[in-house]
Structure 1
Amino acid sequence: MEEQRPWKRLRGPRAVIVAAAGLGIIAGLTLRTADHSGLLPPGTPDPELDLGLRLVCAAAVLVAGTLAYLTFARERDEPLAMACLPGLVVTGVILRHLVVTLPQVARFEPAARIAPGAGSWVLLTSGLVMTATGLAAAFAVRRAA
């Protein structure tokens, strides 16, 4: 009987984590990404994540799902190692949303108390999990070589 190495046993769980992070991104895209209690004055940009960036995140989910499928189909970690790229894309999009967009809108109308919504935190967490899992797969590939 062939002895299973520890990184071979973890391949399936890593692919499942990437798929779950993809579902987290989909859930985050359906939630509000900005909360504001007051009315914004006319001409103030909408603090929500815009459609273009939501589509970029959705495309990242498609790529991550494909990589998770290829990991199972080929029984190798190499495709899963690339999951860090869509994870980095989602993380970058949300960090840009949190750091650049929200403070600028709050400057226009501080009374609106604009704050990141639940969707932003779900997207950020899912992107970080996907990135970490892809990097873990990359290290497993490197150890196996």
Structure 2
Amino acid sequence: MTRAWRVPRAVAAGVAGLGVIAGLTLRTAEYPGMLPPGTPDPELALGLRLVCAAAVLLAGTLAYLTFARRQEEPLAMVCLPGLVVTGVILRHLVVTLPHVARFQPTARIAPGAGAWVLLASGVAMTATGLAAAFAVRRTA
């Protein structure tokens, strides 16, 4: 029974990783007006995008190890990259966007589709890793 659940969890982690890649290619902030000079760019910074991409690489490696070793333990660690992606996007949503809107409220800065896809994918990776961790704990 454990083997039957391992494959869907690893596939879910892979799909969530693809969701992160898709989210990184989409806009993470929507602003219809021009921002005045000196206003910080509301899009997700390149460094944070690279952190999310590295988290996806780690999650993909752990999902592959789950298939190769036929054990849940590597997949349980997928929650860590998921937490990284979720944390990066929550920082972007909660800290960056309101501060930019404070500088230029008429710009009507709002989270873009990419931010929501990244947040959903990060939460999905976290949930997948936690589900695998609980499965490992039950069998131990």
TM-score bracket relative to the smaller structure = over 0.9
Question: 1:122: how far off?
Answer: 0.1
- Whether 1:65 and 2:21 are equivalent positions in the alignment is no
2:38 counterpart (22, 25, 43):
43
Structure 2 match to 1:9:
4
- Whether 1:52 and 2:47 are equivalent positions in the alignment is yes
Gaps of 5+ in 1: none
Count, aligned residues? 140
Structure 1 match to 2:110:
115
Structure 2 match to 1:30:
25
- Partner letter of residue 116 of structure 1? P
Summarize deviations over 1:21-53 as a string: whole Å, max 9, x none.
Answer: 000000000000000011111000000000000
Question: 1:72: how far off?
Answer: 0.2
2:13 counterpart (18, 35, 52):
18
Structure 1 match to 2:127:
132
- How far apart, in 2, do the equivalents of 1:144 and 1:9 lie? 14
- Partner letter of residue 36 of structure 2? P
- How far apart, in 2, do the equivalents of 1:13 and 1:136 lie? 11
- How far apart, in 1, do the equivalents of 2:127 and 2:3 lie? 17
Would you identify which runs of 4 or more consecutive aligned residues in structure 1 move more than 2 Å? Answer: none
How do residues 79-98 of structure 1 correspond to structure 2 at under 5 angstroms?
A: 79-98=74-93
Question: 1:109: how far off?
Answer: 0.7
SS of 2:42's equivalent in the other structure is coil
Percent of aligned positions with the same letter in both sequences? 79
- How far apart, in 2, do the equivalents of 1:70 and 1:129 lie? 19
Summarize deviations over 1:79-111 as a string: whole Å, max 9, x none.
Answer: 000000000000000000000000000001111
Using the size of structure 2 for normalisation, the TM-score is 0.99
- How far apart, in 2, do the equivalents of 1:82 and 1:26 lie? 19
- Choose 1 or 2 for highest CA Rg: 1
Using the size of structure 1 for normalisation, the TM-score is 0.96
Question: 1:8: how far off?
Answer: 2.6
